[in-house]
Structures are given as structure tokens and as C-alpha cells.
Amino acid sequence: MPRLLLIAFLTWIITSQVLVAQDENSLTKDSSYQEGVPKGEIVGPIEWKSKIFPGTVRNYWLYVPKQYQQDKPACVFIVQDGLNRAKGWNLPQVLDNLIHKKEIPIQIGIFITPGVVPAPNDKSQPRFNRSFEYDGLGDRYARFLIEEIIPEVKKDYNLSDHPNDRMIGGASSGAICAFTAAWERPDQFRRVLSTIGTYVGLRGGDSYPVLIRKFEPKPLRVFLQDGSADLNLYGGEWFNANQSMLSALKFSNYEVNHAWGSGGHNSKHSAAIMPDILRWLWSDYPEPIKTGSTAGRRTDLLIPGEDWQEVSSGHRFTEGPVANDAGELFFTDIPKGMIYKLDATGKQSVFAEKSPGVNGLTFGPDGKLYACQNGNKQIVRYAMDGSMEVVCKNVESNDLVILNNGSGYFTDHNNKKVWHFTPEGEASIVDVGIARPNGVVTTPDQSFLILSDTESRFTYSFRIGPEGKLFDKQELGHLHLPDGSTRSGSDGMAVDTEGRIYVTTSVGLQILDQLGRVHCILNKPQAAWLSNVTFGGKDFNTLYVTIGDKVFKRKIKATGVQPWKAPVTPSKPNL
């Protein structure tokens, strides 16, 4: 049966089963022990003391199917809230039956409880870590599984390392915990089982429907279950929140399925349909989970099949990417004091060395390469033969931009200053007070100057006036922050012909419209500081980013603007 027809058929089966289960809460025979079906072994409890969650103690149990063979890597199914949750879903019986019928692959279950910090005496309460570990966003819990639990289990069992072979699930707070682990680390987990999930305002989970609509889609398959009588508390209404999750996942074209019922905050409904849920989550296995798409979004910039490609590595800290008309990319390695060039074929060479602390780069209308040479407290420019001259002396600089008239601006984040300078090197302070002014670009028509502030969640906009003076300062771009942080980590920026601003941040490359609203967030190509971005390539439709020790590129459906050329008038934005 073709894949799409199979999924549609399974969806119909699940929907039909839900209608019966909601009336009777009845279990099918797949949730009961069957004669002749080999029984898996439950191992545990096994105590674990975590380093990632200091002071916590917890237990976990293993389900090991009779069909497991040590010489063959087994799939993995991680369930939050331990053996009690697994028994509430009748998982040992369900797994026995479905594995026996070869409707799901052989898999080892890891049923793990949340951590508890023991009470210091018998008159005190312990610290219960469940909400902190489960409801919180970020990658902490995923790292706990990846760095502590899975390696420990692998000492005795042969577990597959492939993310397509790993499923993670839970109920209530355990559900959002499972989704968060897969969302943060799709390189480790790609199948998500979520029942009565707490995607509400407990610890930021209410932001997920928005993030799913904005982030570049990930390779995940998600099943959502909830009932209309679920909780309605201070943090939100659970049923509405789960429906918002479904809508967002559909919007971004994820592999998603759901079952809505009329029940409350319990596992009766999910237990009744668990066999069909697992069949759907493992359907087509071992075919890989597909990645969603941005098709249908207002800002659809991604090209199917185009992803980040590494173009340079082996550096210490890369920065300052900028491209010329010939398709050559220039970038810096700050600790080495080097400027590198990648020609149109991708061949790398050293353009300039002994340039201490060299950071941001840009071209000017004179065809020369301007650089923030902060180690020598000066702005310099290079002719294409590598010869250098000093433009501005005794200034600290981080990044810079030059306009069509030859004048420019640079940021001094150590002293919270923004400077204007002329081609002759006359420099003057035009703004003071932004916590850490960093990246700097102009709008395509060169009417406004845009600055990033590493320490806050906003970018700033200034109207450019006569003699380079700045007016009408305003917080404009509203950026998304990493969980647990008040700073965006925003750094370098670029602009395209539609006036969209591309900002490198801690959570990824955030793309804002002219009004400062984030429409899209591209994933970082590696886990490192995303320092800067520019457009390059033959048609100026390729993004280049500097991140940690590497440089990456990616073609998108947009055309970049070179600010040192004639102004470009973008289309009027959708207000």
C-alpha cells in the first residue's frame, strides 16, 4: 500500500477506535497478555544519581523484549514518569503483542522517573524536580538522557544510535518533556508520543505553537492526545493548547496525528488507543521520518533539499563574512589575526595576516575591503593586492557598514558607542548607551541604520540624517530568546531586497520583516556561537554564516543587498 494511503488508513482506524474507547474506555486484546506471546522482562528499579541535575536521585526500569538479541541494535522507547506510567498504558503487554506480530520493531523501553533531591531530615520535604525537569524548555533534559542514561543502559544492552530508531513519550508534564527533548535534539529522537501534554504557561511551554510556526522544520513525527475535559487552570487550558500544537505542526507540514476525546486529565483514553498510537508512530519503519516544510508560510525562503554546507574549517573563531561581485567570500579569524578568501570555486587562501583582532569586514564603493582591526584600535582598508592603509585611528570597533556615498558606521560594544566615519577617516560618536551594540546594517534604501544588541532581545533602528547623524532611535526587532536567558546573543546582520533583516542569535538565524517581526528561524549548522551572516554567491542568493571554527553556506529564495552600492527600494511591507 502506498505510504500516504497507509497513513490515511491508520488515521481512520485510530479515529474509529477513539469513538469506541471514549464511550467504554475499553481495551483491545493488544493491551492484554495473550497466550503464546513471549513476555518481555522488566529490569529494575535501578537507582541513578544525576550530575546534570545535581543532588537528584531517581529510578528507572528497563523493558527487554524476548526477541532482543545482543548482536543486533535495538530501537529505544523512553517513557517519563517511570514504570507506573508504562503500566498505566499497559505498555509491557502492548509491546509484547505488537513486537510479536512484527507491527513495531524490537525495542528496549527505558521507563524513568523525575528526579528528587532528598529531604535533609524527617521533618522536611524533599525537592521534587518534576516540573523543573519536565515543563522547562531548553536542552537540559535531553542532555541528561543522552549523556547519562542512554550510555549507562548501553553498558549492558545494544541500543541503536540512529534517531529514527528512538521514540520518546510521556503524559502531562512528561509529554511536553518528551516533545522538548526531540525538539532540541532531533539528531537523537524523532518519534514523539504526547498525551494530555502541558503546552501551557507553566515554564514557557505556551510558546511552542509560535516557535513551531517560525523555526525551520525538524524531522519529527508527533502523536497528540487530549480530551475536552482536560485541565483549565492558571497556566492555560490544556485542550486548547494541544489543539494549537496540532495546528502549528500542520502549518509547518510535520508528520503529525492526533486523537481528541471528551475525557479529563488521565490516561484512560490514551491507554485504550495505545496499540494504534504505537502502530502509527512506527508505521513505515525503517523508512526515515520526513522533515516538514515552509511551503504555505508567508515567508517561504527555504529550498527543498538545500541545507547548510560546510565550506571552511580548522579555524579558531570565525567572523566578518562579506562577498564581492566576483562571488569571492572574505572572512576573519579573530584570534589568529587573519583574513581569508574563498574564491568562486571554493578554494581558500590567506588574503591578509598580521591583522590583530580583525573582526567585521565590508566593502566600500571604492572596491576596497574595510576591516575592524581592533587589536590595533583602528579601522583599515585593503586594496585587492593586499596592501593596507589606516582609515580611523584610536578607536575600538567590532562591526561596520559602508554606504553608497563612502561614509560608514561602526559599533564599539565595549564602550556602548556607535560611530560615524568618512572616507577620509573623520570619526564622530552618533549614539551612546546600547548595552552591547554589535552587528550593523542599513535598510536596502539606506534610509535607516539597524543595530543588534547582544545583551537584549531587541534590535534598534535609527533614521539616517544629514552628515551621518542619527535620529529617532527606537527598539524595533523583537527576537526570540534561549530558555533561561535574558539576552538574545544577537551579533552580525544582513539584509535582502525585500527589507528583511537576518540576525545571528543564540537560538539560530532569525529573519525579521521590515516591521521587526520574526517570520522564520533557521537552525544553526553546528553547536557554537553564530557570529555573523552575509549574502554571496553568483546570484547573491546564498547565505554564508560564520559559526565557531567553521564557515557554512546555504542557498535560499532571497537576494541580498550590498550596502556600498546604489540604494534599493523594497516593496511596501504587509502591515
Give the DSSP H/E element, type plus range, for residue 252. Answer: none
Residue 464, pLDDT above cutoff 70: yes
Residue 390, pLDDT above cutoff 90: yes
Task: For residue 571, tell me if it sits in a domain.
Answer: no
pLDDT 10s digits, 153-185: 999 999 999 999 999 999 999 999 999 999 999
- Pair 47, 93 in one domain: yes
Task: For residue 573, tell me if it sits in a domain.
Answer: no
- Pair 132, 226 in one domain: yes
Buried b (16+ CB within 10 A) or exposed e, 160-195: beebbbbbbbbbbbbbbbbbbbbbbbbebbbbbbbb
Average pLDDT of the chain to the nearest whole number:
94
- Pair 350, 275 in one domain: no
Residue after which a domain boundary falls, among 265, 281, 297? 281
User: Residue 234 has what pLDDT?
Assistant: 95
Separation of CA 64 from chain center: 33
* Residue 13 pLDDT class (50, 70, 90 cuts): very low
All cell numbers assigned to 97: 503483542
Task: For residue 291, tell me if it sits in a domain.
Answer: no
pLDDT 10s digits, 187-241: 999 999 999 999 999 999 999 999 999 999 999 999 999 999 999 999 999 999 9
Residue 138, pLDDT above cutoff 90: yes
User: Residue 296 has what pLDDT?
Assistant: 86
User: Residue 26 has what pLDDT?
Assistant: 85
- Pair 270, 319 in one domain: no
Q: Please report, for the domain that includes residue 508, its CATH number.
A: 2.120.10.30
Q: What is the widest separation between alpha-carbon atoms in the chain?
A: 90
Task: For residue 155, tell me if it sits in a domain.
Answer: yes
- Pair 250, 361 in one domain: no
* Residue 282 pLDDT class (50, 70, 90 cuts): very high
Alpha-carbon distance 285 to 288, whole Å?
A: 7
User: Residue 329 has what pLDDT?
Assistant: 97
- Pair 186, 325 in one domain: no
- Mean pLDDT over 457-470 rounds to 97
Q: Please report, for the domain that includes residue 171, its CATH number.
A: 3.40.50.1820
Beta strand pairing call for 501-505 and 493-495: antiparallel
Residue pair 7/289 in contact by the 8 Å Cβ criterion: no
* Residue 535 pLDDT class (50, 70, 90 cuts): very high
pLDDT 10s digits, 355-372: 999 999 999 999 999 999
Residue 23, pLDDT above cutoff 90: no
pLDDT 10s digits, 240-259: 999 999 999 999 999 999 99
Reduce the secondary structure of 420-480 to three states and give it as a string.
Answer: EECCCCCEEEEEECCCCEEEEEECCCCCEEEEEECCCCEEEEEEECHHHCEEEEEEEEECC
* Residue 573 pLDDT class (50, 70, 90 cuts): confident
Task: For residue 260, tell me if it sits in a domain.
Answer: yes
Give the residue among 251, 299, 200, 296 at the shortest CA–CA distance from 521: 299
Alpha-carbon distance 137 to 285, whole Å?
A: 29
Residue after which a domain boundary falls, among 261, 281, 301? 281
User: Residue 468 has what pLDDT?
Assistant: 96
- Pair 474, 350 in one domain: yes
- Mean pLDDT over 414-433 rounds to 96
* Residue 52 pLDDT class (50, 70, 90 cuts): very high
List all residues 6 or more positions away from 344 whose beta carbon is below 8 Å from its beta carbon: 326, 327, 328, 538
Residue 115, pLDDT above cutoff 50: yes
Instruction: Rounding to the nearest 10 degrees, give the CA dihedral for residues 278, 279, 285, 287.
Output: -100
- Pair 260, 350 in one domain: no
Residue 16, pLDDT above cutoff 80: no
Give the residue among 173, 182, 164 at the shortest CA–CA distance from 289: 164
Report which residue type is found at 469. K
Q: Find the domain containing 399 and state its range.
A: 309-555
Query: What's the pTM?
Result: 0.92
Alpha-carbon distance 461 to 471, whole Å?
A: 9
- Pair 130, 203 in one domain: yes
Alpha-carbon distance 525 to 177, whole Å?
A: 24
Q: What is the chain's Cα-based Rg?
A: 27
Task: For residue 298, tell me if it sits in a domain.
Answer: no
Give the DSSP H/E element, type plus range, for residue 272. Answer: helix 268-281
Residue pair 382/364 in contact by the 8 Å Cβ criterion: no
List all residues 6 or more positions away from 271 whose beta carbon is below 8 Å from its beta carbon: 27, 31, 88, 89, 90
Give the residue among 108, 47, 40 at the shortest CA–CA distance from 73: 108
Lowest mean per-residue pLDDT among 3-7, 27-31, 104-108, 317-321:
3-7
Tally of structural domains, the chain: 2
Alpha-carbon distance 404 to 499, whole Å?
A: 17
- Pair 214, 330 in one domain: no
Side-by-side strand order, sheet with 493-495: 493-495, 501-505, 508-512, 518-522
User: Residue 217 has what pLDDT?
Assistant: 96
Residue 18, pLDDT above cutoff 90: no
Instruction: Give the whole-number percent of the chain exceeding pLDDT 70.
Output: 96
- Pair 507, 549 in one domain: yes
Task: For residue 302, tell me if it sits in a domain.
Answer: no
Residue 20, pLDDT above cutoff 70: no
Residue pair 253/221 in contact by the 8 Å Cβ criterion: no
Task: For residue 286, tell me if it sits in a domain.
Answer: no
User: Residue 96 has what pLDDT?
Assistant: 98
- Pair 236, 352 in one domain: no
